Amino acid sequence: MTRVVLARHGETLWHAENRYAGVSDVPLTLRGRQQAAFLANWAGAAGLDAVWASPLSRSRQTAAVCAKVCDLSVRVDERLREVDFGAGEGLTTGEMAARFPAALQAFRENPVAHHLPGGEHPVDAAARFVAALQDFSVERPDGRILVVAHTTVIRLAVCRLIGVPLVHYRRVFPMLRNCGRTELSIDSNGAAVIEFNTPIERDWPVAPGVGESADLPPAR
């Protein structure tokens, strides 16, 4: 059995306006770096065997701080990237409503059958992400690993793993906190949820320098 901890990356520059980042490479804010530092404090005592991240810089930067305190390297897998939101990339829901109101309404009613125009199909996103997790579990059959990724693709993957129809991912799992932790156990028989969306502790002490720009790799 592999214990897989899924964490959303830290806050980015687009969070204040709630813009759909998707595959857009948006950097972390100072708060996002601090959130990564708190996640790293947890990681340092979590007994991790590996740290994986999506190729997007907000994920890699969050993962790098965690890997450093565990004396591990960040392993990047393209399959962990966020869903491509197509025409919705970089927009707020208000802007989408102005540009393609009918498509946005259809997305709200059924985000799988009517995903955002030009975007990645949620079924495909869930399949690639779950395939990555299954590969990691084969590699580390008795280990505990951290996977730093993104809110939509994590929710889709959790639904796929525990048998919740993907169409309900926005209703059943309406949000993920930045750097919140979701832990699963995965083996050949399937998956079980151990905890979901656990917040980082904001009162833990942070080691000097952790969360500062010098500790993070540059955005690509």
Q: Which residues are catalytic?
A: 9, 82
81 near 150, Cβ under 8 Å?
A: yes
In the beta sheet, which residues pair with residue 53?
A: 76, 148
Handedness of CA 26, 103, 175, 79 (dihedral sign): negative
From the list 86, 51, 91, 81, the residue with the least C-alpha distance to 157 is 81
29 near 170, Cβ under 8 Å?
A: no
List CB contacts of 65: < 8 A, sequence separation 6 or more: 33, 36, 37, 39, 40, 210, 211, 215, 216
φ, ψ for residue 111 (rounded to 5)? -70, -5
Question: Rounded to 10 degrees, what is the CA torsion of 216, 132, 153, 183?
Answer: -80
